[in-house]
Structure 1
Amino acid sequence: MINKKNLLIISPIILSLFFLGGLYIGANLDYLVSNPTDPGFKKLKQVYKELTQNYLNKDDIIFKKAEYGAIKGFVDSINDQYTYFMEPDETKDFLDSINGSFEGIGAEVGLNEDKQIIVIAPLEGTPAQKAGLLPQDIILTINETSTAGMTLEKGVSLIKGKKGTVVNLTIKRENEKEPIIILIERGLIKIPVLKLNIINNSIAHIKLFNFNENASEEFNKVAQQILSLGIDKIILDLRYNPGGILQEAVEIGSWFIEKGKIIASEQYSDGTLKNYNSLGNGQLANLNLVVLINKGSASASEILAGALFDHNKAPLVGETTFGKGTVQVLKNFNDGSTLRVTVSKWLLPKGTSINKEGVKPTILIKMDKIPKNDKQDLQLQKAIEILTK
C-alpha cells in the first residue's frame, strides 16, 4: 500500500502507480458456482456440474484455469477497458514494471474503446521515444503477431524483453494511410521524474514526466531553486506525462493554487463527492505560468492542467489531452492474482469530467512528431512567446 494515497491509473508497459492495498479473498471455482449471488450464476453452476460429471476426459479439466477463465469472462463482459483481472504471473510482471527500472522499450500503453492496444505516451529518453512512437499510435502487430483480440497483459508481455533485443511493432497512426513498421531495441528503463531548464536566464521550463511517489519532493527542490534565482516565468510541461499518484499532483498544484481551493473531486457511483483541496503552499501562485499539454498527457497530468486553467492560473498550449478520467484500485487475492476495478471518476474544479473528452488547450498547436530540438518545438516556442511579449 502506498500511504493510502488515491491514484490515477493507466495500463502500463513501464509506469502505473496503483492503490496496492486490497481485499484478500480466497475465491475458488467451486465456491463461486455453489454460492451464486445472482440468478445469472445458475447456468455457470449447471455447466460446472455437467462437465465435472459427464465430460469424457474429466482428468483434463484444470480447475484453476477454468476459474480464471470464468472470472475473466465476467470482468470482460463489463466492457470497461480499465477494469480487468490479472493472473499471478501477469500481476508479477505488472508490479515489476513499477519498481523504478526494468528492461523494455519505455512506453505507456492502454486499451482504447475498441479494445485496441494503443500508445499513451513514450517516456523521456527511452527507446520508444527515440524510435518515434507517438501518443495514440495503435499497435497492430507485435513481432508479426496480430494484437486483434489480445489482452493488454499479453501485449505488454510480448513488448517487454531483455536489453539489447529488438521488438518489431506495426502501428496505425492518425493521418497515415498505410501502417508503419517500427523496430525498437529494448534497453534498461529508468523512470525519470522531472527536468529543469532555464531559458534565456528568465524562464524556468519544467518538464514533469510523471507523478510517482517522489514527484512532489523533486518538484519542491526545483521550485525553491526557481525562487532563489528570482525567476518569475514558468513553463510547466505536462506533455507525454501519463499520470500517477493524485496526491503528488495535489501537492504540486498547491504551489500555484491558493489554500482550500479545489484541485479535483472524486465522484463515486452513488453520486457522492470527495474534494481534494490545495494544501496552500502558493509560493508560485503569482508567477507568470504557461502549461503545455498534448495527447500523451493523461490522468493526473490532465487534472493538474485542468485545475490550473479553471483557477485562471495559466493558458494551456498544445493539443487535447488523452481523456483518462476514471479511478481504479487494485484488489489482491491470496493466490497472487489481482482485480483492477474502476471505482469512481474525476471532476475538475468547475465540475467538468475529463473522461473520454480530455482537457482542451486554449491555444491549439498540433505537432505530428517529436521535435529534434527546442527550436523545432512549436508548442514550446509559443509558450516562450506568451511569456516574453
Structure 2
Amino acid sequence: MLRKGILPILFAVVISFAGTRLVACAGPAWPSDEERRFLDAYRTSVTAGASEEQFAHADKLYVEALQVLSETYVEQIDRVAFVDNSIAMLGDLETDDTSPIGVVGAVLDDSLHDLDPHSAYMTDDMFRRLQESTEGSFAGVGIVIALDDEKRIRIVSPIDDTPAARAGLRPDDRITHIDGYQMVGEPISEAVRRMRGRVGDPVTLTIQRVEDSFDVTVKRARIEVPSVTASIIDQDIGYIRVSRFDATTLDQTQEYLQELEDRIASPRGIIVDLRRNPGGLLDSAADIADQFLTEGLIVATEGRGERKLRSYEADRSDFFEKVPMAILLDRGSASGAELMAAALRENGRGIIIGERSFGKGSMQRIMPLTSGGGLKITTGYYTTPENHIVQGHGVIPDIEISLADAEEFEREIDLEHALPSRRRDPRQSLATLEATSCEQDIEIERLGKSSRENLEENLAESEGEKPLRDSVLECAVGYFDKGPLANYRNQMEPLLRAGL
C-alpha cells in the first residue's frame, strides 16, 4: 500500500468521485437565529397537509447541513449571507417535490451550487448511484445505449456475457418501453435509472427491431464495466488507456501492465492514455501513478488556509522501469487524470502530449447526514509534487497537438461559480504541432476483452464505416520513432532524467 502521510486521517474513506471522499459528520446543533429565519420562511413553499414530523425532519436537514458546511468548506462561509440566499431561492424554486424535505433539499442543492459547481446536496438515491459509479460495477442488463435522431433509445451494443447479450438483443434495436413506461423522448439518464436495480430482479424491455415489436424480460445481474484497456503498438510499444479511476482500476491496470511486460521483450516506449478520463477515486489514481515511480511525492491535499491535509508518496515502480513514457491528455482529462499526469512528469518519469487538460483541481467530500442523504462539499485543493495547483489552469502538455476539427469546449474555469485559480505551474509547451503533420499508419494488437470504445468501433466496422484515426496517438508513437515528435525526444529525455 502507499505510504500516505502528513496528518493521519481520523475517519474511514469509503468512496470518492472526481476527487471526492465519504466521511461521517457530526450531529446537528440547535437552530441559530439565522437558521431559524429560513426554517420559518420555507414553510409557505410546502404543500398543505405536511405533518410536524416531516417539518422536523426537514428542519434538522437544513441545520445539520449548514453546520457541516461551516466546519468543512474550503473557504469560510458567511452564514448570514448563505441563509439570505436560501430564503431568496424559495420564490424561484424548481422542484416537483414540495414536501418539507423536497423543498429544503432543493434549496440546499441550489445554494451549494452557488458556492462552486461541484458542491451539491444528494438524496439517498443519488448517494446510492454515486457508490455504484465508484465500485466499477452495477446491477443492470448490460447494454451500451444512445439517443437516435428521433430521441429513441438505441442499443449501440450489448456487452459480452451479460443478460442483454444472452437475451439476443442486437445493435440498432430500439427500446420503446421499460416495464411498460414509454421511453420515446426520455433522456438517457431515465433509461439507465429504470434498467438498473437489484441483482436478480426482472425488467421487461419492449424492443422495436425494424418493423417488429416484442417484449424481452431479463433478470438484472452485476455488470462489470472495465476502466482499463491495453494494446501493443508496432510490436514494441506498450499502450494502456485508463478511462476512469474506480475501485477495480488498479487491479485491471496491474494485470495489463504485467501482460505487456511479458509480451514485449525490448519495449521502445510506454504510452499512458488519460484522455477523456474525468477522474474518480484519488487513491486509485495515486496507486496507478505509483506503478511507474520508485520514490517521490505523487499528490498532496490542502484545506482552508492552505493547511496541509494528506500526502501520497511513491514506493513501488513495478513496471516498465526506465522505459521512455508519453502521457496523453486532452481537454476532457480532469481531476485524478490531471494529477496522475503531473505526478509522472514532475517526478521525471515521462512527457505529456496532447491538449491542456480540464483544470479541475478541487477536492470534494461526501458527508452522509443523519437526517438523510448527504452533502458533496468542496473541502480543499490538490497540489502536485512541485506544489502547483491545477484548479482553473489545467495541465499544459510538453508537446501540444492541435486538432483541426476541435470544437469550443468549456473547461473548469469557464463554469459558473468556479473556484479561482491558484499557484499555476509556469511551464509552457515546448512545441505545438498540427495533428495531421505526424499522422502515420500504426499496427495495433488489442489485449483482453473489448471496452466500450472498442465495442463502438467494432460496430462501425461491421456496418461498413471506416473507424476514425487517432491522430494524437499516432503522433505519440512518433515520439519513440522517427516522426516529427522524435526531434524533441533528445531535448526532453535529459531534462526528465535531471528532474526538470
Smaller-chain TM-score bracket: 0.5 to 0.7
Whole-Å separation in 2 of the counterparts to 1:19 and 1:165: 39
Instruction: Please name the residue that 1:317 is paired with.
Output: 353
**Greater per-residue helix proportion:** 2
Displacement of 1:336: 4.1
Cα deviation code 1:31-74 (max 9, x no counterpart): 8xxx323x4224224436x869xx9x953566343245235424
Of the candidates 22, 34, 43, which is equivalent to residue 40 of structure 1?
34
Instruction: Please name the residue that 1:121 is paired with.
Output: none
Displacement of 1:160: 4.2
Report whether the alignment pairs 1:206 with 2:196.
no
Give the alignment's TM-score, normalised by structure 1. Answer: 0.67
The residue matched to 1:266 in structure 2 has which SS? strand
Residue correspondence of structure 1 range 1-389 to structure 2 within 5 A = 4-5=12-13, 9-10=17-18, 19-23=21-25, 25=27, 35-37=30-32, 39-47=33-41, 59-60=49-50, 63=55, 64=58, 65-78=99-112, 79=114, 80-99=116-135, 100-103=137-140, 156-157=189-190, 160-162=193-195, 190-228=224-262, 229-232=264-267, 233-259=269-295, 261-273=296-308, 274-281=310-317, 283-334=319-370, 336-367=372-403, 368=405, 376-389=469-482
Instruction: Please name the residue that 2:74 is paired with.
Output: none
Is the contact made by 1:243 and 1:300 (CA closer than 8 Å) also made in structure 2? yes
Larger Rg: 2
Is the contact made by 1:7 and 1:328 (CA closer than 8 Å) also made in structure 2? no
Which residue type is aligned with residue 301 of structure 1? A
Cα deviation code 1:262-318 (max 9, x no counterpart): 111101113122221112325434111111111221211111111112223222111
Which residue type is aligned with residue 37 of structure 2? K
Displacement of 1:338: 1.5
Is the contact made by 1:251 and 1:279 (CA closer than 8 Å) also made in structure 2? no
Is the contact made by 1:7 and 1:246 (CA closer than 8 Å) also made in structure 2? no
Whole-Å separation in 1 of the counterparts to 2:353 and 2:300: 24
Which residue type is aligned with residue 251 of structure 1? D
Is the contact made by 1:294 and 1:318 (CA closer than 8 Å) also made in structure 2? yes
Which residue type is aligned with residue 378 of structure 1? S
Is the contact made by 1:324 and 1:355 (CA closer than 8 Å) also made in structure 2? yes
Whole-Å separation in 1 of the counterparts to 2:105 and 2:468: 52
Distance 1:90 1:157, change over 3 A: farther
Whole-Å separation in 2 of the counterparts to 1:318 and 1:196: 19
Whole-Å separation in 1 of the counterparts to 2:14 and 2:127: 20
Displacement of 1:346: 0.6
Is the contact made by 2:16 and 2:366 (CA closer than 8 Å) also made in structure 1? no
Cα deviation code 1:166-194 (max 9, x no counterpart): 9xxxxxxxxxxxxxxxxxxxx99742121
Is the contact made by 1:5 and 1:247 (CA closer than 8 Å) also made in structure 2? no
Which residue type is aligned with residue 276 of structure 1? Y
Distance 1:247 1:328, change over 3 A: same
Q: Which runs of 5+ in 2 are unaligned?
A: 1-10, 59-98, 146-158, 161-170, 173-182, 197-204, 208-219, 407-452, 458-465, 483-500
The residue matched to 2:195 in structure 1 has which SS? coil
The residue matched to 1:234 in structure 2 has which SS? strand
Distance 1:288 1:73, change over 3 A: same
Whole-Å separation in 1 of the counterparts to 2:380 and 2:396: 22
Cα deviation code 1:99-158 (max 9, x no counterpart): 503559879xxxxxxxxxxxxxxxxx99xxx99xxxxxxxxxx9768xxxxxxxx99457
- Measured on the aligned residues, the alpha-carbon RMSD in Å equals 3.8
Is the contact made by 2:13 and 2:22 (CA closer than 8 Å) also made in structure 1? no
Which residue type is aligned with residue 381 of structure 2? K
Displacement of 1:251: 1.9
Which residue type is aligned with residue 480 of structure 2? L
Which residue type is aligned with residue 9 of structure 1? F
Displacement of 1:345: 1.1
Which residue type is aligned with residue 385 of structure 1? G
Give the alignment's TM-score, normalised by structure 2. Answer: 0.53
